[in-house]
Structure 1
Amino acid sequence: MSSDLIVNVSPSEVVIALLEDKGLVELNREMTGAKFAVGDIYLGRVKKIMPSLNAAFIDVGYEKDAFLHYLDMGPQFSTLNKFLKIATSKNNKITSISKIQSDPDIDKEGKISDILKVGQNILVQVAKEPISTKGPRLTSELSIAGRNMVLMPFSEKVSISQKIESNEEKNRLKKLIQSIKPRKYGVIVRTAAEDKRVAELDQELKRLVAKFETTFQKLRRVNAPSLIVGELGRTTALLRDIYNPNFNSIIVNDPIVCEEISEYLGSIAPEKKKTVKLYKGNQSIFEYYGVDKQLKASFGKTVSFKNGAYLIIEHTEAFHVIDVNSGNRSKAGIDQETNALEVNLAAADEIARQLRLRDMGGIIVVDFIDMHQAENRHKVYERMKEAMDVDRTKHNILPLSKFCLLQITRQRVRPEEHVETAEVCPTCKGTGKITPTILLVDELESKVKYIFKELNKNKVIIKTHPYLAAFLNKGFWSLKNKWAFRFLKALKSRT
């Protein structure tokens, strides 16, 4: 599978589109100057203790106080708190956490009111970005993510990604990391580290340790609330997490961001640095690479996916609902059960893409077309699991019920992506809505195909607006002539 990353930089935001085999599968949007990204570490101040929730609200500088639950504080919180006191002390001469004596782990069944006090300073990390009316969700179990590993200060554990299948490779990586990691640091080895040499891993480990230990200098100079360790820019953070050798190209329309990505890629995969390209065309980068058209077709309440079948996607405060419909799809000689199975299997692929593309989180309920055979329901369940294997976000899928309902839970760490697809009508000036003009030709072609193939008509006359008629008749290989040649039928376009 080939992958391309298209980065559209504008004064107000950076929009990143991930294409797999030219199909849009992920969209990430970062406002210029945006704060409170997942992974950012803040010096916060305890604003309110909530004993009934066993949680606290922390001021990190956001308009709404962030939420920290007792279970998210991490077992090494006492040691983290000692580190904070030492680092903010004027007489501190310690420059590495390896020299700090560890305190006992906090009690798993303890109460937050016994550990935190109102007005106390605390080191926290953003686990979930602000969503809707909620502030950020925090954790005190700090981590610094790299390409091949995740550094866990104040821990001693070494864990290996379950996606690395070879036990021999797992043992190699575990022994290697244990031999090179400093004291008081734990490491989670990511899938990307498979088959990597010790020199490369050691270099990244030292870089991550140095990044965290700069907090000693920063904590002396700042007052809560303040950002202490910032995550990479969303572009390079996404690249760090999704990059694989199959990337064909990374195309950027801004020279500064292009250079930033090129430098980062040079540090993790120097041989692939040439895949970073600067787009210099006059046309919008998303329009040139077909992203705009896919956005219009992929967002909105109704999404078509194969031979007239479509999805209805509804969003509520509690959960998301997806309804699978066969539409006008029909094949001679195919019974209802077989037809339902074919549509449901195709729908599973599109639903998996939609979840990634819209970054839908929480509870998702899918209403597939009814199938009476348990074997067919199992086939759809297996296809759904297979289609979502490439999804990096944590998720869980339950088998279909006898009513062909499927439940999915998917971790939500950022606000859901939303793109407005309906356009303002040029006639009513906004009192009504029309479908996107960019999709009109595709819709026309679908209708023509249906008339010729399904209804077996020999002649079609399309009556349309003069502008559209001119577009359909433009040139010898006009759309009208292409359709007529494709279906070998008579086609006329009139104004």
Structure 2
Amino acid sequence: MVHIQMWWVFAYMQRNLCWVVLLAENLLSLVNTLLIDFSPGEVRVAALSDQKIIEFYHHNYSNIATVGAIFCARVTHLVSRSRLIFLDIGLEYPAILSQPKKALDIGQRIFVRIVQPARLDKGAKVVIVPDQELQRHLGAAEAVKGTIGCIVKAEHPINMCIRLYEDTLENIICSPLSSQKRLESILGYEPKIPVKYTNSEIFREHGIDDVIEESLEPVVTLAGGARLILENTSAFTAVDIDSGPLSPVIANEIAVSALADEIRRRAIGGGIIVDLIPCRDRGKYVTQLRELVTKDPVPTRVSGLTPEGRLELNRRRVRRSLQEELLNEGPQYDRCPRSVGFEILRRCVRLGLVEQSLNIQVSAHPIVVNLLKNILKAAVLEAESILKVSIRLQESKNSKVDSYDILL
């Protein structure tokens, strides 16, 4: 009898834990704070609901092939059976146009808009810009005179966040102090919400850097000891739920709630398949997830359960995921050289300004040094302009790409 009562108490506690977690998620769903961190070659943006981090954006100035950008393109290859057309838009990989309404010829120039960013070794997916929309950009289209490349840039993440969350936004914090003109140039107008400028490391002080590192890991530890495991593949994202000490029903409810946050925070797009823990009435998790994703500004379709009882959904791929942005492809979860290069420049500026150093030397992996000397050269020059000193780059013998030293 005592054993039955203790089990009932444990089950009751689990049920209340679940509802506390779900209630907290609902209360912390409105974005009210925007953190904007300018650094050489890039700007990082974090959207917060009180102290809860909702979304991250990493925007480097050299990446022009983002969703919404308009390009002048040239037809290079036609695949008749699948009605796919490959286009040269001036980037590394050809863009992909699917099933156009009118016939196109090799060499023909057209104007297209990116609807899905390039990823891995695949080019961006595009659609033809309608004539009415093209008329609005007629000046830009005429200016390029058929030159292949970007003619209209996509909306900046800062503008997009302010537009999406203007009804609930209460605070905008921008770093450094000297970034006021840059912010005003991007916005093109004075925001209704007052902007606080600071020299503080706002991403570190608000715990953003730590959460970014956690969001790059495949395992998410949940309340009560359950776990969510997310594995990205080229075809879809597989999600597994580990109940730990919790019952299957409670673990599934907490995991589904956390999943809605994680796919948004990690900017995961495409197909997602969730391996729910077997239990009765798994259909209720479909309803639960459909309600949760209504808060996501990115269109997300919860398809339902597969015949095997797995939960299937699809989130529109509107930008590169956090993992694609910061990590190399593969199971090792190593940092990609470009993200390490930007991190080095951020630290050089922070340390150099604090120490008022007249000499800065960076010792890093040869691949990172090569990037800083070539592709990221403009970002290095920007850092040197801020510091008013030159940054000396030296190749190290470290085998890890993310290992580096900064000597002042």
**Structure 1 and Structure 2 fold alike (TM over 0.5):** yes
C-alpha distance in 2 between matches for 1:279 and 1:243: 22
1:359 aligned counterpart, secondary structure: coil
Aligned counterparts, 1:344-493, within 5 A: 344-372=252-280, 374=281, 377-400=282-305, 404-418=309-323
1:287 aligned counterpart, secondary structure: helix
CA contact (8 A) 2:303 2:313 kept: yes
Which residue number in structure 2 is paired with residue 315 of structure 1? 232
How much identity, in percent, do the aligned residues show?
Answer: 26
Aligned counterparts, 1:318-337, within 5 A: 318-327=235-244, 329-330=245-246
C-alpha distance in 2 between matches for 1:224 and 1:417: 32
Which residue number in structure 2 is paired with residue 291 of structure 1? 208
CA contact (8 A) 1:60 1:224 kept: no
Which residue number in structure 2 is paired with residue 133 of structure 1? 121
Write the deviation string for residues 174-232 of structure 1: whole angstroms up to 9, x where unpaired.
Answer: xxxxxxxxxxx8xxxxxxxxxxxxxxxxxxxxxxx4xx2423xx525534203222223
Which residue number in structure 2 is paired with residue 273 of structure 1? 193
Question: Are residues 384 and 62 of structure 1, via their aligned partners in 2, closer, same or farther at CA, if it must alter by over 3 Å?
Answer: same
Q: Which has more radius of gyration?
A: 1
Q: TM-score, normalised by structure 2?
A: 0.66
C-alpha distance in 2 between matches for 1:290 and 1:53: 47
Question: Are residues 21 and 344 of structure 1, via their aligned partners in 2, closer, same or farther at CA, if it must alter by over 3 Å?
Answer: farther
Question: Are residues 385 and 11 of structure 1, via their aligned partners in 2, closer, same or farther at CA, if it must alter by over 3 Å?
Answer: same
Write the deviation string for residues 341-381 of structure 1: whole angstroms up to 9, x where unpaired.
Answer: 22221111110011111111221111122212x2xx23322
CA contact (8 A) 2:64 2:150 kept: no
CA contact (8 A) 1:13 1:32 kept: yes
Deviation at 1:388, TM superposition (A): 0.8
Deviation at 1:49, TM superposition (A): 2.0
2:266 corresponds to which letter in structure 1?
Answer: R
Question: Are residues 116 and 11 of structure 1, via their aligned partners in 2, closer, same or farther at CA, if it must alter by over 3 Å?
Answer: same
1:119 aligned counterpart, secondary structure: coil
C-alpha distance in 2 between matches for 1:295 and 1:220: 41
CA contact (8 A) 1:5 1:19 kept: yes
1:290 corresponds to which letter in structure 2?
Answer: G
C-alpha distance in 2 between matches for 1:265 and 1:124: 25
2:208 corresponds to which letter in structure 1?
Answer: V
1:67 aligned counterpart, secondary structure: strand
C-alpha distance in 1 between matches for 2:334 and 2:177: 32
CA contact (8 A) 1:121 1:224 kept: no
CA contact (8 A) 1:258 1:277 kept: no
C-alpha distance in 2 between matches for 1:289 and 1:302: 22
Write the deviation string for residues 458-485 of structure 1: whole angstroms up to 9, x where unpaired.
Answer: xxxxxxxxxxxxxxxxxxxxxxxxxxxx
Are 2:154 and 1:231 aligned?
Answer: yes
Of residues 64, 86, 90 in structure 1, which corresponds to 2:93?
A: 64
CA contact (8 A) 1:262 1:273 kept: no
CA contact (8 A) 1:236 1:261 kept: no
CA contact (8 A) 1:48 1:56 kept: yes
Write the deviation string for residues 227-269 of structure 1: whole angstroms up to 9, x where unpaired.
Answer: 22222333223433x22321121212145654454577684x8
Are 2:207 and 1:219 aligned?
Answer: no
1:214 corresponds to which letter in structure 2?
Answer: G
1:390 aligned counterpart, secondary structure: coil
Question: Are residues 4 and 273 of structure 1, via their aligned partners in 2, closer, same or farther at CA, if it must alter by over 3 Å?
Answer: closer
Which residue number in structure 1 is paired with residue 109 of structure 2? 121
1:60 corresponds to which letter in structure 2?
Answer: I
CA contact (8 A) 1:60 1:225 kept: yes
Aligned counterparts, 1:54-93, within 5 A: 54-71=83-100
Question: Are residues 57 and 293 of structure 1, via their aligned partners in 2, closer, same or farther at CA, if it must alter by over 3 Å?
Answer: same
C-alpha distance in 2 between matches for 1:306 and 1:257: 39
Question: Are residues 228 and 406 of structure 1, via their aligned partners in 2, closer, same or farther at CA, if it must alter by over 3 Å?
Answer: same
C-alpha distance in 1 between matches for 2:203 and 2:169: 18
Question: Are residues 33 and 343 of structure 1, via their aligned partners in 2, closer, same or farther at CA, if it must alter by over 3 Å?
Answer: same
Deviation at 1:401, TM superposition (A): 5.2
C-alpha distance in 2 between matches for 1:357 and 1:39: 21
Question: Are residues 398 and 232 of structure 1, via their aligned partners in 2, closer, same or farther at CA, if it must alter by over 3 Å?
Answer: closer
Deviation at 1:304, TM superposition (A): 0.8
CA contact (8 A) 2:117 2:317 kept: no
Q: TM-score, normalised by structure 1?
A: 0.55
Question: Are residues 70 and 295 of structure 1, via their aligned partners in 2, closer, same or farther at CA, if it must alter by over 3 Å?
Answer: same
Which residue number in structure 1 is paired with residue 27 of structure 2? none
Which residue number in structure 2 is paired with residue 22 of structure 1? 51
CA contact (8 A) 1:125 1:142 kept: no
Question: Are residues 230 and 264 of structure 1, via their aligned partners in 2, closer, same or farther at CA, if it must alter by over 3 Å?
Answer: closer
C-alpha distance in 1 between matches for 2:308 and 2:56: 33
CA contact (8 A) 2:175 2:197 kept: yes
1:127 corresponds to which letter in structure 2?
Answer: V
Q: Which runs of 5+ in 2 are unaligned?
A: 1-29, 336-408
Count of aligned positions: 300
C-alpha distance in 2 between matches for 1:423 and 1:219: 44
CA contact (8 A) 1:303 1:312 kept: yes
Question: Are residues 402 and 213 of structure 1, via their aligned partners in 2, closer, same or farther at CA, if it must alter by over 3 Å?
Answer: closer
Which residue number in structure 2 is paired with residue 95 of structure 1? none
CA contact (8 A) 2:162 2:169 kept: no
C-alpha distance in 2 between matches for 1:118 and 1:265: 39
